[in-house]
Structure 1
């Protein structure tokens, strides 16, 4: 469905937001998609998603970003929720250590539910709460390096790094699919995002991002 004759391929990437309840996943999404923040945000029930358009190298890229409840009682949605995801933001609250301690479990679930590699960023949200911080920037960075993830601290409240966090994941997906197209004998990209390589250039190590509130 091309409304403009100059529009070529359209890219649609599914990205999931995961992490414990009340770490700010829904507000991160609303800040990115609508530049809104709800101080009275209620827990997400079931699944919600927003589609955001980003232009990369003159091409229109649509990111379909899914948000679901972090509470255990809603875990039954996970299989369908993760299916086809090519990107993930794994979110914790820097002022609640328990949400950081749960990150490895979320990463394990992501790996279990998706049989391919997913462009993944570790996000330490609520970095505006510096005065009650329980997780240091260094701890977040170290975990990201150990797991081979991108890392960024954000604040959905004051907008710190929200845009760049989402756009970094979207660009990583796009870059890897572009590389796959260039190296593929087929004429069409395999956009079924369980086959996206995360190798950057000739190396096998992902680029590391370390954006804290203070940087």
Structure 2
């Protein structure tokens, strides 16, 4: 059983070597059930083909961002496990749809 000390920690279980389906030792159902029972996200990935590798990182990042937006995680709180990066590198998050509107208004 997985028991993180921080209840808001984001953990993703990645089953690697998805490209070697014939040599599988753990079924998708077993891994998926384990992840669900332990409140983990789950993806099967392949380092060889790149399948779901980037998606694993994006899924974690989206979940963390959602927890920050809902107030479940506070990057300002010591011990949250999250900290802001260099402010000069940070981009402000735009509401959905505004990026498409900004592209339409571009004069390039």
TM-score range, shorter chain: 0.5 to 0.7
Aligned to 2:80: 194
Corresponding residue to 1:174 among 53, 61, 65: 65
Q: How many Å separate the matches in 2 of 1:115 and 1:172?
A: 15
User: Quick check: 1:154–1:162 contact (8 Å CA) kept in 2?
Assistant: yes
User: Matched residues in 1 for 2:22 and 2:6: separation?
Assistant: 40
Q: CA deviation at 1:122?
A: 1.1
Computing the radius of gyration from Cα coordinates, the structure with the larger value is: 2
39, 42, 63: which one pairs with 1:151? 42
- Confirm or deny: 8 A CA contact 1:120 1:149 kept in the other structure: yes
Off by >6 Å, runs of 4+ in structure 1 = none
Gaps of 5+ in 2: 83-108
Cα–Cα, structure 1 residues 179 and 115, in superposed 2: closer, same or farther, change >3 Å? Answer: closer
Unmatched runs of 5 consecutive residues or more in structure 1: 1-103, 182-188, 197-215
Choose between structure 1 and 2: higher strand proportion: 1
- Aligned counterpart, 1:132: 23
Deviation at 1:180, TM superposition (A): 1.0
TM-score (norm 1): 0.34
TM-score (norm 2): 0.64
Provide the secondary structure at the position in 2 that maps to 1:148: coil
Residue 81 (structure 1) aligns with: none
1:115, CA displacement in angstroms? 3.7
Counterpart-to-counterpart distance in 1, 2:18 and 2:81: 33
Q: How does 1:23-42 map to 2 (within 5 A)?
A: none
SS in 2 for 1:119: coil
Query: Cα deviation per residue 1:109-142 (whole Å; 9 max; x = unaligned)?
Result: xx2xx44421111110111111211110000100
Instruction: Output aligned runs, 1:106-145, within 5 Å.
Output: 107-108=2-3, 111=4, 114-145=5-36
Write the deviation string for residues 14-47 of structure 1: whole angstroms up to 9, x where unpaired. xxxxxxxxxxxxxxxxxxxxxxxxxxxxxxxxxx
CA distance in 2, matches of 1:141, 1:115: 22
Aligned CA RMSD, in angstroms, stands at 2.4
Cα distance in 1 for residues equivalent to 2:14 and 2:74: 28
